[in-house]
Structure 1
């Protein structure tokens, strides 16, 4: 492969990876925000604490991944096995957002 093509592919991979990591970071932060305003009727304290701990671990994993990418002299990718728990957390955040929205709607109707 032409070295310039390798360089272009590496830049593209780095851009895609950073975009993906930024997305995870955004949703993990959004999850934290939702947990701070989440009523007990939507999610109990114990369950909120557990989700908060998993979001913190996810955020730490994103920071660690960024550090590894930055330290590497070669373009990197992340395996689906590594990202799968992050996807699960994002799905939980979306579910929590939906539950809070329904709860608030129901509160305004009563």
Structure 2
């Protein structure tokens, strides 16, 4: 069976669409967590700053999703744009893991 190259647009749809959905999911969970829990090992200012950064990232991802949909998947995203989102998700995961460890909760 011959392997034909995947057209660039199909590759974008295959990779970028679910990646943007994942970012929205994790930013949504992080936002909910930061809005409902007091993170004792963060100062109020640190928690507020993190929440503001999550909200900003959510808006950026939503804008990227709208452009992606409006162009029928013909628009990509620079890795320089994706990397800060990735770092922010990682930061939120680390804080959530530390919070769960200090609260003895798995959920």
TM-score by length of 2: 0.80
Cα displacement (A) at 1:63: 1.0
In the other structure, the counterpart of 1:24 is 23
The answer (yes or no) to whether the contact 1:42–1:103 under 8 Å persists in 2 is no
Matches within 5 A, 1:1-110: 9-72=8-71, 75-105=74-104
Query: Which structure 2 residue ranges, 5 or more long, are not aligned?
Result: none
- Tell me if the contact between 2:27 and 2:57 (Cα under 8 Å) persists in the aligned partners: yes
After superposing the two structures, state which structure 1 stretch, 9-18 or 26-35, moved more: 9-18
RMSD (CA atoms): 2.3
Runs of at least 5 residues in structure 1 that lack an aligned partner in the other structure: none
Deviation at 1:28? 0.4
- Quick check: 2:39–2:99 contact (8 Å CA) kept in 1? no
Return the structure number with greater relative CO, CA threshold 8 A, min gap 6: 1
Q: How many residues align?
A: 102
TM-score (normalizing by structure 1): 0.78
